[in-house]
Amino acid sequence: MRLNIVTDDTFCVHDALIKAFNNSTHGVRVYLANRPAKGIVEFDFVCSEPCCISLESIREALPFIEDYNIRIVI
């Protein structure tokens, strides 16, 4: 899954996502994928087995990012 976030603090967002999902029993890993434009950062979620990551859990991991700045890329 790819996540598109509007932010100026890439490392803070990446760190928050790693802390939120790294201890998952499904082996979720978060990688910095791309920077398609200034202020927009894309992250890839990779799992070792099938799992479901909810938008609510992403919002909980990133309380300092406004909801309209979080997008799931299909």
Q: What is the pTM of this model?
A: 0.85
User: Are 41 and 12 a contacting pair, CB within 8 Å?
Assistant: no
Per-residue pLDDT reduced to its tens digit, 7-56: 999 999 999 999 998 876 667 889 998 888 889 999 999 888 888 888 89
pLDDT at 61: 94
Which residue in 11, 1, 10 sits closest to 53, CA to CA?
1
Q: Is the pLDDT of residue 67 over 70?
A: yes
Q: Using alpha carbons only, what angle is made at residue 43 by residues 38 and 48, rounded to the nearest 5 degrees?
A: 170
